[in-house]
Amino acid sequence: MTESVRKIDAFLSEGLDGYIAETARLCAQPSISAQGIGLPECAGLVAGLLEQRGFQVWRIPTAGAPVVVGRLQGRSPRTLLFYNHYDVQPPEPLDLWTSPPFEPVVRDGALYARGAKDDKGEFVARLAAVDAVRAAHGGIPPCGVLFVVEGQEEIGSPHIAQFVQDHKDLLSCHGAVWEEGGTDADGRPQVSLGRRGVLEVDLSVETMRVDAHSGQADVLPNAAWRLLRALASLKGTDERIRIPGFYNDVQPPSPRDIAMLDALPDYEPHLRATYGVREFVLGRSGRALNHAVFEPTCNIQGLTAGYQGPGAKTVIPARAKAKLDFRLLPDQDPDDIFARLKRHLDAERFGDVEVTWIGAMWPSRVSVDDPLVALTARTGEEVYGLPGLLLPLGGGSSPFYAFAKPLGIPVVTAGVGYGRNRTHAPDEHVRLGDLLNAARHIARILEGFGDL
């Protein structure tokens, strides 16, 4: 351990209480994007935290909430971007919180509040890391630091891709640490190399103008059956998606991906315990569950048709609707998949099934050979004292792509999570030790990034 890293660790240990207080102050400000509550106020707090540290700060309006951008020069011309967000999920159901969601409180070694982990704790851990490297280097960080803190991540970041496109010069940098990261439930530091994309659509069909009595089901067309058959045309019981050309652009896992997957723990017991699953998809088990992330999916989010109350109603539904999401692999393109989906339904004579684009994110991966990956993994092992895990692809989706491609940068993950933070749920919390360790980890990345 170098002298500067020793100074960093000492600085953070001494300053931890202050960073807990800073997180708590941010969490005390509700900022619920889904409900339009407190967003400008929270953006103001974020801007203030950056300004008081000498960052040059921009509050840039979008069609939604403002994005706060902060830039600080470093000793190296290379700049590391931190993507974060100041909005949080709604706190409901309120009665399941042990203490009120917007009255942060420390108990049992953790800070409890909505946003304590996602994403205000993550943001403050980064501020702490920047403070620590500056303290160890006479006030000037070893590399440039760029914060991009948006206010609509929890509702799907509808404007961030356009925002990046529109501000490429302002956002010019050489690498990024994503908004969240940390360890698995056993304390092993994880680095995620990317995320699948996603295409979300509504399928709806109307077979008649009004519902009819089910005594006429031999002649009047049932929208639920119609929708069900359209859905059945999308995916076989073998889980293979039947849209022609759907797999054209799928990059299969490389031998290195497979090696990384094989090195991951067996999460089957965890999944069984959490979800009470009887049988996994296609009867998968053990490490095959990890490998499945390299399959795209066609998931039904919801179905609705006809009468859904108690008892029965002898009705033929005139309308039926399904919500779907497709998780997409590199290099599948949601625009292309959407067009193929529509062509498939037309070709299968389901032209009456209306397809509506709800939203999309593109898949994105960093090369495992990128030096930022190695730096993040090595420093993570140093801080957490356990071998790190490389996740070749995350199953979910995130606007990685909105930064990675237009800015031409690698994106990695590091942060305060430990897998059981109750993110998005009542009693969300960040463990104080994780806040400290994430700051130590990110400070080490800042230490090394200028020389990569």
Find the binding residues for a second copy in span 282-301 (CB under 8 A). 284, 289, 292-293, 295, 297-301
The secondary element (H helix, E strand) that includes residue 345 is helix 334-347
**Shortest separation between residue 131's beta carbon and a second copy, angstroms:** 34
Site for a second copy in 265-284 (CB under 8 A): 271, 274-281, 284
Using CB under 8 A, which residues numbered 350 to 379 contact a second copy? 352, 358-359
- Interface residue with a second copy among 37, 303, 386, 452 (CB under 8 A) is 303
Closer of 94 and 232 to a second copy (Cβ): 232
Closest CA to 430 of 119, 94, 77: 119
The answer to whether residue 307 forms part of the interface with a second copy (CB under 8 A) is yes
How near is the Cβ of 327 to a second copy at its closest, in Å? 6
Closest approach, Cβ 193 to a second copy, in A, equals 15
Report d(CA 375, CA 63) in Å as an integer: 37
Size of the site for a second copy (CB under 8 A): 74
In this structure, are residues 39 and 155 in contact, taking their beta carbons and an 8 Å threshold? no
Site string for a second copy, 78-117 (x = CB under 8 A): ----------------------------------------
Span 176-235, contacts to a second copy by CB under 8 A = 196, 198, 200, 207-210, 212-222, 224-225, 228-229, 231-232, 235
Question: Which range touches a second copy (CB under 8 A), out of 129-137, 312-320, 413-421, 431-439?
Answer: 312-320
**Least CB distance from residue 216 to a second copy, whole Å?**
6
d(CA 131, CA 127): 6
Alpha carbons 93 and 110: distance in angstroms, whole number: 21
* Near a second copy in 29-68, by CB under 8 A: none
SS3 269: helix
Q: Does position 317 bind a second copy by CB under 8 A?
A: yes
Closest separation between CB of residue 270 and a second copy, Å? 12
The count of residues in the chain is 452
Tokens of 208: 């008649």
CA distance 157 to 61: 14
Q: Taking a C-beta distance cutoff of 8 angstroms, is the pair 399, 161 a contact?
A: yes
CA distances from 13 to 23, 61, 112, 130, 140 (A): 16, 37, 20, 14, 20
Q: Which is nearer to a second copy, 52 or 216 (CB)?
A: 216
For residue 181, the minimal CB distance to a second copy (Å) is: 16
Amino acid sitting at position 198:
V
Near a second copy by CB under 8 A: residue from 1, 14, 108, 308: 308
Quote the CA–CA distance of 15 and 13 in Å, as a whole number.
6
Question: C-beta of 168: minimal distance to a second copy in Å?
Answer: 29
Beta-sheet strands, E only, within 329-409? 354-361, 364-365, 389-391
Nearer residue to a second copy within complex by CB, 80 or 198: 198
Nearer to a second copy, 133 or 230 (CB): 230
240, 314, 378, 451: residue in contact with a second copy (rule CB under 8 A): 314
319 to 338, contacts with a second copy by CB under 8 A?
Answer: 320-323, 325, 327
Nearer to a second copy, 358 or 374 (CB): 358
Shortest distance in whole angstroms from residue 430 CB to a second copy:
20
- Amino acid identity, position 53: R
Return d(Cα 121, Cα 421) in angstroms, integer: 11
CA distances from 375 to 10, 72, 173, 326, 401 (A): 21, 21, 17, 33, 21
Q: Which of 170, 315, 355, 374 is the binder for a second copy (CB under 8 A)?
A: 315
Residues 391-410, interacting with a second copy (CB under 8 A): 394-397
Quote the CA–CA distance of 46 and 39 in Å, as a whole number. 11
237 binds a second copy (CB under 8 A): yes
25 vs 287 by CB, closer to a second copy: 287
Helix (H, G, I), strand (E, B) or coil at 428: coil
Q: Which residue has the tokens 């990128």?
A: 370
Residue 330, SS3?
coil
